[in-house]
Amino acid sequence: MPQKTPKGASGPAPAASDSVRAALSAAERELAARESAVLAREQAVDRREAALQATDEYRVLTEAQLREANEHLLLATVQAKTDAEAAEHAAAQMALKAERDALTGLPNRALLIDRLEQAIELAERHGKKVALMFLDVDRFKEINDSLGHLVGDGALQSVAKRLQATLRKSDTVSRQGGDEFVVLLTEVESVHDAALIAEKLIATMAAPHCVGDHLLRVTLSIGISLYPENGRTVETLLANADTAMYYAKRSGRSYSLFTPDMRAHLPVQQAH
């Protein structure tokens, strides 16, 4: 016979407890899964934010590096331009010194010869004349000996300025050294034109030259040679103008036009 269940005993209770435990376990697992998912999501967000921050920092760093690089490039460009300008200026100064007289700034003999060659070529092409004048400052040695070289240099500078102010821009006045100057007149029409310029140069020296505390009287002796009558080469024109100048000084004239017979009167050239 089947046994009766004692009073007060609960028959189905064990089954109910198992169900509750199973439900609780499932709920715990679901909660744990959710917590794990939330944690994973938070970690993903953290990694994304870290990545964004790193990107921003890299961008800032890159912009700073780029700005610094641009500044260096700008400074290097400015320095390169400055160095190039300095080199050009130095080259120009060297070229200027090679062609100019240090005391007066006038063209020296080398530059004069170059311009004279060009003037001869143009005159031949256009059927014109070229006048070359050799100028000597009279009694310049007396100025140097009595007043000193500084006053003498000042006198030469004053003479140079007056010569330049009297001539055309197309003409050239050159210092050959010492107290000697050479004037090149391009494309003159006749001997008469050259003589007029010589008289003008002599007149412009008439007013006293103020050098320091001194008022100096300066006169010139001028010799003139013409292309093509008195020579067709640079050397011949210079030599004949020098001969005419020395003849003027010896004869007491202010200026002389070259003639071949002057050589007979001046067999030996002397220092002026």
> Which residues are designated catalytic?
179
Contact (Cβ atoms closer than 8 angstroms) between residue 218 and residue 205: yes
| Tokens representing residue 168 in the block | 């055309």
Query: 32-55: buried (b, 16+ CB within 10 Å) or exposed (e) per residue?
Result: eeeeeeeeeeeeeeeeeeeeeeee
**Who's near 42: CB < 8 A, 6+ residues apart?**
none
Instruction: For helices 234-251 and 109-126, give the axis angle rounded to 10 degrees.
Output: 110
Calpha distance 33→27 (Å, rounded): 10
Calpha distance 195→135 (Å, rounded): 13
Contact (Cβ atoms closer than 8 angstroms) between residue 243 and residue 258: yes
Residues comprising the chain, all counted: 272
Calpha distance 246→241 (Å, rounded): 9
Residue in 175, 24, 179 with CA at minimum distance from that of residue 105: 175
CB atoms within 10 A of CB 195: 16
| Tokens representing residue 252 in the block | 């007491």
